Amino acid sequence: MELNDLINHTSEWLKGTGPNSEIIISSRIRLARNLAKHPFSHRAKKPGQEEVLRSVEAGLADCHALKAALFLKLADLDEVDKQFLIERHLMSRDHALGDDHKGLAISDREIISVMINEEDHLRMQALQSGFNLRQAWQILDALDDELAAKVEYAFSNEWGYLTACPTNTGTGLRASVMAHLPALVMTKQINKVLQAIAKLGLTARGFYGEGTEAVGNFFQISNQVALGHSEDELIENLERIIRQVIEHEQNARDAMSRQDRMRLSDRIGRAFGTLQSAYIISSNETVDLLSSVRLGVDMDIVKDIDRSAVNELFILIQPAHLQKLEGKKLSSAERDVKRATLIRSKLIGNSHP
């Protein structure tokens, strides 16, 4: 598998399947790990970073889940390649900054990705479609156990796994879901919900995680602190709160459908029509309009388009994906034209609400 092959694949987390997938796009489990007897990434010299990269790559290559994995060195990638991987949620924005002795491993179905020499020596993640935290955890826990038999982790009997950021110390686990909450936004209940989950120890970020704003009514909701709790406790707590968020969103959708379905259908129909007919369109406008169309699909207002096709469009219309599809670098204006062309090709011929 080569990097450019990914453009022709649908990422596992975009498939629109799994529990509560009409509201929860995806579930992610991430583990932070560091190697024993090595300075953390931000303190390590280049020879030390290189040694970590070699050791981790060798260990991962023998792990069952990564037998057919794609291994990349960031020094070999250009800026479009890096942005492409960020857009697919396979690596972080921080990992893309600087490329000396940084690596990335991606499993064949993009379920697992492993960043090497990010903030920690290892940032491993597993992604699943829908509200599926337990399955994501089982996948990553198995990989973690395999790798722990090949490399020695930095671990304290008192503190647990040692990490560069104190909030990750302990289990090193960050559990998160990507939630699509348009009804809560439209009914102006979202701030109340976000304030409530913050009081319960969770945080909400944008589509691309830390440091990004919520666009398209997408919110990445995760635990804030790992120390003092087991993996099961962290996941169970997030699951319990997310079930309440799902209920609030579903109630808001039901209320809108009962009280003013015509106005809701009009909003969704206008969004669909704009996407079908636009010849120039920005990514932010597209994401907002696609959010309405996705709501229409999930509420059976938009016909003959499945959820996975809409999910995939959210990624394909991003800047680096458009340039990968075109096979060359594009200016912002050129991307706006290419984006509109791509959307029309996907939507024209499908049923308007």
pLDDT band at 98 (very low <50, low <70, confident <90, very high): confident
How far apart CA 277 and CA 288 sit, in angstroms, is 16
> What CATH number does residue 32 fall under?
3.30.590.10
Percent of the chain's residues with pLDDT above 90: 82
107 domain-assigned: yes
Is pLDDT larger for residue 100 or for residue 83?
A: 83
195 domain-assigned: no
48 domain-assigned: yes
| pLDDT tens track for 127-175 | 999 999 999 999 999 999 999 999 999 999 999 999 998 888 899 999 9
36 domain-assigned: yes
286 domain-assigned: no
260 domain-assigned: no
Q: Which residue range is the domain that position 33 belongs to? A: 3-176
Report the pLDDT value the prediction gives residue 216, as an integer from 0 to 100.
Answer: 77
What's the structural domain count of the chain?
Answer: 1
| pLDDT tens track for 251-303 | 999 999 999 999 999 999 999 999 999 999 999 999 999 999 999 999 999 98
216 domain-assigned: no
How far apart CA 249 and CA 294 sit, in angstroms, is 14
How far apart CA 129 and CA 114 sit, in angstroms, is 18
Q: pTM, whole model, 2 decimals?
A: 0.93
How high is the mean pLDDT of the chain? 92
What are residue 328's phi and psi, to 5 degrees? -165, 165
328 domain-assigned: no
